[in-house]
Chains A and B, each alone.
Chain A
Amino acid sequence: MCIGIPMEILSSDGHLAMARTPAGTVREIRLLLVGAVEVGSHVLVISDTAMREIDSDEARKIADALEATTAAAEGLPYEHLFADLIDREPQLPPGLEPGGPNSATLAKASPVKTET
Protein backbone atom coordinates (compact mmCIF):
# COMPACT_ATOMS: atom_id res chain seq x y z
CA MET A 1 0.00 0.00 0.00
CA CYS A 2 3.03 2.23 0.00
CA ILE A 3 2.05 3.65 3.40
CA GLY A 4 4.64 4.57 6.01
CA ILE A 5 3.71 5.28 9.62
CA PRO A 6 5.19 8.25 11.49
CA MET A 7 6.23 7.26 15.00
CA GLU A 8 7.61 9.06 18.02
CA ILE A 9 10.65 7.55 19.71
CA LEU A 10 10.01 6.73 23.36
CA SER A 11 13.27 4.93 24.16
CA SER A 12 16.21 3.65 22.17
CA ASP A 13 19.41 1.65 22.53
CA GLY A 14 20.75 2.75 19.15
CA HIS A 15 19.65 -0.44 17.37
CA LEU A 16 16.10 -0.93 18.56
CA ALA A 17 13.60 1.57 19.83
CA MET A 18 10.18 1.64 21.41
CA ALA A 19 8.06 4.01 19.38
CA ARG A 20 4.49 5.26 19.49
CA THR A 21 2.16 5.30 16.49
CA PRO A 22 -0.28 8.19 15.95
CA ALA A 23 -3.00 5.86 17.25
CA GLY A 24 -1.09 5.49 20.52
CA THR A 25 0.15 1.94 20.05
CA VAL A 26 3.70 1.31 21.26
CA ARG A 27 5.85 -0.95 19.08
CA GLU A 28 9.44 -2.07 18.89
CA ILE A 29 11.12 -0.86 15.71
CA ARG A 30 14.54 -1.33 14.15
CA LEU A 31 16.89 1.61 13.70
CA LEU A 32 19.20 -0.09 11.20
CA LEU A 33 19.05 2.67 8.65
CA VAL A 34 18.75 5.77 10.77
CA GLY A 35 21.10 4.86 13.61
CA ALA A 36 20.79 6.43 17.01
CA VAL A 37 17.86 8.78 17.37
CA GLU A 38 16.88 10.98 20.28
CA VAL A 39 13.90 10.30 22.49
CA GLY A 40 11.06 12.53 21.32
CA SER A 41 12.19 12.58 17.69
CA HIS A 42 10.10 11.10 14.86
CA VAL A 43 10.79 8.46 12.24
CA LEU A 44 8.88 7.12 9.26
CA VAL A 45 8.40 3.36 9.68
CA ILE A 46 7.60 0.52 7.31
CA SER A 47 7.70 -3.15 8.28
CA ASP A 48 8.82 -2.19 11.77
CA THR A 49 11.97 -0.59 10.35
CA ALA A 50 12.61 3.15 10.45
CA MET A 51 13.12 4.39 6.88
CA ARG A 52 14.20 7.91 7.76
CA GLU A 53 14.04 10.53 10.44
CA ILE A 54 11.36 13.17 9.94
CA ASP A 55 10.62 16.38 11.78
CA SER A 56 7.55 16.80 13.96
CA ASP A 57 5.78 18.90 11.34
CA GLU A 58 6.11 16.22 8.64
CA ALA A 59 5.13 13.54 11.15
CA ARG A 60 1.95 15.43 12.00
CA LYS A 61 1.05 16.04 8.35
CA ILE A 62 1.48 12.37 7.44
CA ALA A 63 -0.45 11.25 10.53
CA ASP A 64 -3.27 13.69 9.74
CA ALA A 65 -3.45 12.54 6.11
CA LEU A 66 -3.70 8.91 7.22
CA GLU A 67 -6.33 9.80 9.78
CA ALA A 68 -8.27 11.53 6.99
CA THR A 69 -8.52 8.22 5.11
CA THR A 70 -10.02 6.45 8.10
CA ALA A 71 -12.36 9.37 8.82
CA ALA A 72 -13.53 9.37 5.19
CA ALA A 73 -14.18 5.64 5.36
CA GLU A 74 -16.32 6.17 8.45
CA GLY A 75 -18.23 9.10 6.94
CA LEU A 76 -16.71 11.62 9.33
CA PRO A 77 -15.40 15.12 8.46
CA TYR A 78 -11.77 15.03 7.39
CA GLU A 79 -10.92 18.19 5.46
CA HIS A 80 -9.59 19.90 8.58
CA LEU A 81 -6.82 17.26 8.59
CA PHE A 82 -5.13 18.84 5.57
CA ALA A 83 -6.41 22.39 5.89
CA ASP A 84 -2.96 23.75 5.09
CA LEU A 85 -3.37 22.46 1.52
CA ILE A 86 -6.83 23.80 0.91
CA ASP A 87 -6.31 27.55 1.03
CA ARG A 88 -2.74 27.82 -0.08
CA GLU A 89 -1.37 29.30 -3.29
CA PRO A 90 -1.31 26.77 -6.14
CA GLN A 91 1.90 24.71 -6.18
CA LEU A 92 1.25 22.08 -8.78
CA PRO A 93 3.73 19.30 -9.45
CA PRO A 94 5.83 19.42 -12.64
CA GLY A 95 3.67 19.20 -15.70
CA LEU A 96 0.52 20.47 -14.05
CA GLU A 97 1.51 24.00 -13.08
CA PRO A 98 0.04 26.69 -15.36
CA GLY A 99 3.21 28.79 -15.38
CA GLY A 100 5.75 25.97 -15.20
CA PRO A 101 8.08 24.46 -17.74
CA ASN A 102 5.22 22.49 -19.25
CA SER A 103 2.88 25.43 -19.67
CA ALA A 104 3.41 25.66 -23.43
CA THR A 105 2.47 22.03 -23.83
CA LEU A 106 -0.55 22.46 -21.61
CA ALA A 107 -1.68 25.53 -23.49
CA LYS A 108 -1.58 23.59 -26.75
CA ALA A 109 -3.62 20.83 -25.11
CA SER A 110 -2.12 18.13 -27.28
CA PRO A 111 -4.37 15.11 -27.54
CA VAL A 112 -3.03 12.04 -25.85
CA LYS A 113 -2.25 9.08 -28.04
CA THR A 114 -4.82 6.39 -27.45
CA GLU A 115 -3.81 2.77 -27.72
CA THR A 116 -6.75 1.13 -26.04
Chain B
Amino acid sequence: MRLGSPAKSGTAKTEQIILFRVSGQLFAVSSASVQEVRSADSMSGAAVEINAPGIRKVRQVVRRGDRSLFIVNGAMHFGLHAAEGALLFVLRKTRTALLVDGIEKMTSMTRLQSLPLSFCHEERQWYRGLTALDQTVVPVVQPQGFLSPEELALLDSALVETDHAAAGALQETDPEP
Protein backbone atom coordinates (compact mmCIF):
# COMPACT_ATOMS: atom_id res chain seq x y z
CA MET B 1 0.00 0.00 0.00
CA ARG B 2 1.38 3.36 -0.95
CA LEU B 3 0.86 6.71 0.63
CA GLY B 4 1.06 9.96 -1.28
CA SER B 5 4.62 10.95 -1.96
CA PRO B 6 6.09 13.78 0.07
CA ALA B 7 5.14 17.21 -1.17
CA LYS B 8 7.48 18.46 -3.83
CA SER B 9 8.46 22.05 -3.67
CA GLY B 10 8.77 23.99 -6.87
CA THR B 11 9.96 27.25 -5.45
CA ALA B 12 10.92 26.02 -2.02
CA LYS B 13 10.73 28.57 0.76
CA THR B 14 13.41 28.29 3.33
CA GLU B 15 13.48 29.06 7.00
CA GLN B 16 16.62 30.13 8.80
CA ILE B 17 17.31 27.91 11.78
CA ILE B 18 19.85 27.66 14.56
CA LEU B 19 21.18 24.18 15.26
CA PHE B 20 22.07 23.86 18.93
CA ARG B 21 23.05 21.16 21.38
CA VAL B 22 21.64 20.21 24.74
CA SER B 23 23.51 17.41 26.53
CA GLY B 24 25.04 16.46 23.21
CA GLN B 25 21.67 16.11 21.47
CA LEU B 26 21.08 18.22 18.37
CA PHE B 27 17.98 20.41 18.06
CA ALA B 28 16.87 23.22 15.78
CA VAL B 29 14.99 26.42 16.47
CA SER B 30 13.78 29.01 14.02
CA SER B 31 16.13 32.01 14.05
CA ALA B 32 13.06 34.23 14.01
CA SER B 33 12.04 32.78 17.37
CA VAL B 34 15.28 33.75 19.08
CA GLN B 35 15.29 37.32 20.30
CA GLU B 36 18.72 37.24 21.95
CA VAL B 37 21.60 34.88 22.49
CA ARG B 38 23.49 35.56 25.72
CA SER B 39 26.20 33.78 27.60
CA ALA B 40 24.78 32.16 30.72
CA ASP B 41 27.35 34.03 32.84
CA SER B 42 26.20 37.42 31.58
CA MET B 43 22.70 36.75 32.90
CA SER B 44 23.64 35.10 36.17
CA GLY B 45 24.22 38.43 37.93
CA ALA B 46 20.67 39.56 37.25
CA ALA B 47 19.06 36.18 37.96
CA VAL B 48 17.08 35.46 41.12
CA GLU B 49 16.63 31.96 42.53
CA ILE B 50 13.13 30.54 42.28
CA ASN B 51 11.70 27.29 43.55
CA ALA B 52 8.34 26.20 42.14
CA PRO B 53 7.13 22.81 43.37
CA GLY B 54 7.33 20.19 40.63
CA ILE B 55 9.16 22.41 38.14
CA ARG B 56 12.78 21.42 38.58
CA LYS B 57 13.80 22.64 35.14
CA VAL B 58 13.41 26.28 36.25
CA ARG B 59 15.72 27.43 39.00
CA GLN B 60 16.22 31.08 38.12
CA VAL B 61 14.26 34.04 36.88
CA VAL B 62 15.47 37.27 35.31
CA ARG B 63 13.53 40.50 35.73
CA ARG B 64 13.35 42.82 32.77
CA GLY B 65 11.22 45.82 33.61
CA ASP B 66 7.79 44.45 34.45
CA ARG B 67 8.53 41.20 32.64
CA SER B 68 9.98 38.01 34.13
CA LEU B 69 11.97 35.55 32.04
CA PHE B 70 12.18 32.04 33.40
CA ILE B 71 15.45 30.28 32.72
CA VAL B 72 14.60 26.76 31.54
CA ASN B 73 17.32 24.15 31.75
CA GLY B 74 17.08 22.46 28.34
CA ALA B 75 18.60 19.18 29.55
CA MET B 76 16.04 18.82 32.33
CA HIS B 77 13.17 19.82 30.08
CA PHE B 78 14.01 17.05 27.60
CA GLY B 79 14.96 14.51 30.29
CA LEU B 80 18.60 14.40 29.19
CA HIS B 81 21.68 14.08 31.36
CA ALA B 82 22.19 17.24 33.33
CA ALA B 83 24.64 19.60 31.68
CA GLU B 84 25.93 23.03 32.55
CA GLY B 85 24.42 25.24 29.90
CA ALA B 86 26.71 27.87 28.48
CA LEU B 87 24.28 29.89 26.39
CA LEU B 88 20.84 31.33 26.85
CA PHE B 89 18.32 31.76 24.05
CA VAL B 90 15.76 34.39 24.93
CA LEU B 91 12.76 33.14 22.99
CA ARG B 92 10.55 35.70 21.30
CA LYS B 93 6.90 35.96 22.36
CA THR B 94 7.50 33.70 25.35
CA ARG B 95 8.71 34.10 28.93
CA THR B 96 11.42 31.51 28.37
CA ALA B 97 15.17 31.87 28.33
CA LEU B 98 16.46 28.46 27.28
CA LEU B 99 19.74 27.21 28.68
CA VAL B 100 21.67 25.22 26.04
CA ASP B 101 25.20 23.81 25.66
CA GLY B 102 26.06 25.78 22.56
CA ILE B 103 25.32 26.60 18.96
CA GLU B 104 26.35 24.08 16.32
CA LYS B 105 25.68 26.28 13.31
CA MET B 106 23.13 28.39 11.53
CA THR B 107 21.56 26.97 8.43
CA SER B 108 18.24 26.80 6.63
CA MET B 109 15.58 24.16 6.15
CA THR B 110 13.21 23.79 3.25
CA ARG B 111 10.95 21.10 4.66
CA LEU B 112 9.39 20.54 8.02
CA GLN B 113 7.61 17.22 8.50
CA SER B 114 4.93 17.02 11.16
CA LEU B 115 5.87 14.85 14.08
CA PRO B 116 4.55 11.37 13.19
CA LEU B 117 1.30 10.63 15.02
CA SER B 118 2.96 7.65 16.75
CA PHE B 119 4.63 10.24 18.95
CA CYS B 120 1.67 10.96 21.17
CA HIS B 121 2.93 12.35 24.48
CA GLU B 122 4.54 15.60 25.67
CA GLU B 123 6.83 15.71 22.65
CA ARG B 124 3.87 16.95 20.61
CA GLN B 125 4.10 20.20 22.61
CA TRP B 126 7.88 20.24 22.47
CA TYR B 127 8.35 20.09 18.70
CA ARG B 128 6.98 21.86 15.64
CA GLY B 129 8.15 18.87 13.63
CA LEU B 130 11.21 17.16 12.24
CA THR B 131 13.54 18.17 9.45
CA ALA B 132 16.11 16.20 7.50
CA LEU B 133 19.45 17.97 7.17
CA ASP B 134 22.58 16.42 5.67
CA GLN B 135 21.19 12.89 6.04
CA THR B 136 20.34 13.41 9.67
CA VAL B 137 16.99 14.11 11.33
CA VAL B 138 16.68 17.05 13.68
CA PRO B 139 13.69 17.95 15.86
CA VAL B 140 12.61 21.56 15.49
CA VAL B 141 11.55 22.93 18.86
CA GLN B 142 8.37 24.83 19.57
CA PRO B 143 9.32 27.99 21.53
CA GLN B 144 5.98 27.99 23.38
CA GLY B 145 6.47 24.33 24.35
CA PHE B 146 9.01 24.84 27.11
CA LEU B 147 6.56 26.17 29.68
CA SER B 148 2.88 25.28 29.68
CA PRO B 149 0.27 27.78 30.94
CA GLU B 150 -0.06 25.65 34.10
CA GLU B 151 3.70 25.76 34.70
CA LEU B 152 3.75 29.51 34.11
CA ALA B 153 0.97 29.95 36.68
CA LEU B 154 2.94 27.91 39.23
CA LEU B 155 6.10 29.88 38.49
CA ASP B 156 4.26 33.18 38.84
CA SER B 157 2.92 32.22 42.26
CA ALA B 158 6.39 31.03 43.32
CA LEU B 159 7.71 34.38 42.16
CA VAL B 160 5.19 36.23 44.34
CA GLU B 161 6.28 34.13 47.34
CA THR B 162 9.94 34.85 46.57
CA ASP B 163 9.17 38.58 46.42
CA HIS B 164 7.30 38.46 49.76
CA ALA B 165 10.18 36.59 51.39
CA ALA B 166 12.68 39.09 50.00
CA ALA B 167 10.58 42.05 51.20
CA GLY B 168 10.27 40.46 54.66
CA ALA B 169 14.00 39.88 54.88
CA LEU B 170 14.66 43.47 53.85
CA GLN B 171 12.35 44.80 56.57
CA GLU B 172 14.14 42.69 59.20
CA THR B 173 17.56 44.07 58.20
CA ASP B 174 16.36 47.70 58.00
CA PRO B 175 17.64 49.70 60.98
CA GLU B 176 14.93 51.22 63.24
CA PRO B 177 14.38 54.92 62.50
A pairs with B: no
**A interface vs B, CB < 8 Å?**
none
**B interface vs A, CB < 8 Å?**
none
